[in-house]
Amino acid sequence: MGRPGSDEFRAIYAKHYNAVLRYAWRRVGADAAPDVAAEVFTVVWRRLDQVPTNMVLPWLYGVARKVVSSHVRGTERTEHLAGQWDGQAAVSRDVADQVTVRHEVRRAWLSLGESDREVLALIGWEGLNVREAARVAGCTAATFSVRLHRARSRLRHALSRAEATTTPSLKTVNLEDTQCA
């Protein structure tokens, strides 16, 4: 005896898995398609009560479209970060310099208030745009933009204080590289 709806899920999966897999394959390629299809059916499992019985496949394609979009954004973000890493690795080959810079950046980061760190993390680490980050923060995009500007200014100031006390250059840290649109 399974979870209520598990027979319905099995029927949807058996009937539409290949169509969803082909849809994903055409958009993200053979390597990522099974992961995208699995994510689509994870959504189906969680939202089984929301699946329209007379339009299952179009609904699945709608979910797949969002999952593909998320996957592509994640892949682009990974490639962007890998490109940044390659560029930064060429700047300084001395491990001691890298450790010193990392330490100073961490110290500057920790000197910020929790709200500034959250604003910067939503944009820089989570890869959200201003509108998405504003929604997470529970404010308007305009308010969030102001908070982001102020947080970047405070971090820039903290980094310039740190740079004055260290020999390696912290100029390799570019605050404007974070996406903001």
| Per-residue pLDDT tens over the stretch 112-127 | 998 898 889 888 887 7
| Per-residue pLDDT tens over the stretch 41-93 | 999 999 999 999 888 988 999 899 899 988 888 887 777 777 766 555 555 55
Answer whether residue 178 shows pLDDT above 70: no
> How far apart are the C-alpha atoms of 139 and 79, rounded to whole Å?
30
Residue 179 phi/psi, 5° resolution? -70, 150
Answer whether residue 162 shows pLDDT above 60: yes
Q: Which of 2-6, 70-74, 83-87, 95-99 has the highest mean pLDDT?
A: 70-74
pLDDT band at 1 (very low <50, low <70, confident <90, very high): very low
> How far apart are the C-alpha atoms of 64 and 106, rounded to whole Å?
39
Domains of the chain: 6-74 (1.10.1740.10), 93-172 (1.10.10.10)
Answer whether residue 174 shows pLDDT above 70: no
Q: Please tell me which residue, 97 or 42, carries the higher pLDDT value.
A: 42
Answer whether residue 168 shows pLDDT above 50: no
**H-helix or E-strand containing 29?**
none
> How far apart are the C-alpha atoms of 72 and 82, rounded to whole Å?
15
Measured from the Cβ of residue 67, the count of other Cβ atoms closer than 10 Å reads: 23
Q: Please tell me which residue, 89 or 31, carries the higher pLDDT value.
A: 31
Average pLDDT over the chain reads 82
Measured from the Cβ of residue 4, the count of other Cβ atoms closer than 10 Å reads: 9
Please report, as a single letter, which amino acid is at residue 95.
V
- CA torsion sign, 39 to 45 to 46 to 51? positive
**Residue 175 near residue 156 (C-beta atoms within 8 A):** yes
Choose among 141, 38, 128: nearest CA to 74. 128
Span 84-104, mean pLDDT?
67
> How far apart are the C-alpha atoms of 72 and 79, rounded to whole Å?
10
pTM over 0.75: no
pLDDT of residue 180: 47
